[in-house]
Amino acid sequence: AFVCGLRAGTGWPRRYRPFAEGFCVELQGRSHLSSGLVLRWFQGHLQRCLGAVRYRLQERCRISLSASPGHPPTLHIVPCSDYVCCHISMAVRLIPAIPLGDALYLTALPPEGTQPPPAHEALWGLNASRQEQRLLGWLKEQAPASSCHLKCLQILKGLRDLRGQGLEEPFCSQWGRVLSSYVLKTALFSLLLQMPLEAWEERFLAERLEDLVLYLRDCLRKQVLMHFFLGNTSLPEAVSPPRFLKEAAPVNLLAAFDRPTLDLAAFQLINTWILAPHMIRMYSSPRYLRPALTP
């Protein structure tokens, strides 16, 4: 969701200093904790742990570990059909994280491509899921009982995924990164605080969904969508973010993309909204469609 340079030094908690000193890179004369080195160390430990426990669980399930550029290591668990009644598999993403306090974590970013730029080594992600939960709890109390804000997010995600099926590479991958779930969620949170919450009643679903699409289109055209928590001084008091989060420098989530990519994404977004009824009819299963009303 957010990337930052993490400097290693005396500001680190004492229990982390020995660990940090062995995983640093020099950038512009300063020592930064390397997310790439931490992630490689983490993957090595995962492989050793997997080798130690796999034989103990081989009668119950099959366990494997996969990793690809741009994605965190994923643990795949497939139970043996003769051991359990339900043959349900699981895929768990494993991401090393450093706690900052107040349920905030820095997460190691997987490298994009086989040879990421050196500056990428010092970039970390910020996980603020606890603050998001507080915000959603506050919205549930303040918004109407029939609020449609979560439905808007679900529908927009679905339209994004449907549209992605008809796009070709390399833009197909860019489409998913530009309109990531975190970008869509950030746009929704920002729009929610710009209008009365009574406007999000269920009967206004179509209007609010259109507002969300148009707001996101404008963000893409302006190349600006600010992180919702970092440097945001207008957050509701119920969210109670830590002080350093409010005083942090604002971060533009779209800064990593060039103008042609964002302009194309804005065009495809509006095109997706125009074609939404057709796309839903084409991709929906007949058993989920309402029967036509008899005149």
Q: Mind listing the pLDDT tens digit for each residue in 252-274?
A: 999 989 999 999 999 999 999 99
Percent of the chain at pLDDT exceeding 70: 81
Query: Has residue 294 got a pLDDT over 90?
Result: no
Query: Has residue 203 got a pLDDT over 70?
Result: yes
Q: Can you give the pLDDT at residue 291? A: 45
Confidence of residue 20 (pLDDT cuts 50, 70, 90): low
First and final C-alpha spacing in the chain:
50
Amino acid at 132: E
Query: Has residue 249 got a pLDDT over 90?
Result: no
4 Rama sector, left if φ>0, alpha if ψ -120 to 50, beta otherwise: beta
Cβ proximity of 6 and 109 under 8 Å:
no
Q: Can you give the pLDDT at residue 81? A: 67
What residues are paired with 125 via a beta bridge?
107
- Cα separation, 268 vs 217, whole angstroms: 10
SS (H, E, C) the chain: CCCEECECCCCCCHHHHHHHHCCEEEECCEEEECHHHHHHHHHHHHHHHHHHHHHHHCCCEEEEEECCCCCCCEEEEEECCCCCCCCCCEEEECCCEEEEECCEEEEECCCCCCCCCHHHHHEEEEECHHHHHHHHHHHHHHCCCCECHHHHHHHHHHHHHHHHCCCCCCHHHHHHHHCCHHHHHHHHHHHHCCCCHHHHEHHHHHHHHHHHHHHHHHHHHHCCCECCCCCCCCCCHHHCCCHHHHCCCCCECCCCCCHHHHHHHHHHHHHHHHCHHHHHHHHCCHHHCCCCCCC
Residue 231 in tokens: 């440097």
Query: Has residue 5 got a pLDDT over 90?
Result: no
Query: Has residue 282 got a pLDDT over 80?
Result: no
Residue 32 in tokens: 């930064």
- Cα separation, 165 vs 33, whole angstroms: 38
Give 170's contacts (C-beta < 8 A, 6+ positions apart): none
Domains of the chain, start order: 3-126 (no CATH), 143-284 (1.10.1410.40)
Query: Has residue 243 got a pLDDT over 50?
Result: yes
> How far is Cα of residue 230 from the mean position of the Cα atoms in its chain?
15
Q: Mind listing the pLDDT tens digit for each residue in 168-178?
A: 888 888 999 99
Q: Mind listing the pLDDT tens digit for each residue in 101-130?
A: 888 888 887 766 555 666 677 788 888 888
Percent of the chain at pLDDT exceeding 90: 35
Query: Has residue 212 got a pLDDT over 70?
Result: yes
Residue 49 in tokens: 């742990």
Q: Can you give the pLDDT at residue 85? A: 58
pTM confidence score? 0.77
Residue 163: Cβ within 10 Å count: 20
Q: Mind listing the pLDDT tens digit for each residue in 37-94?
A: 888 888 888 888 888 787 777 778 888 888 777 677 888 888 876 655 566 788 888 8
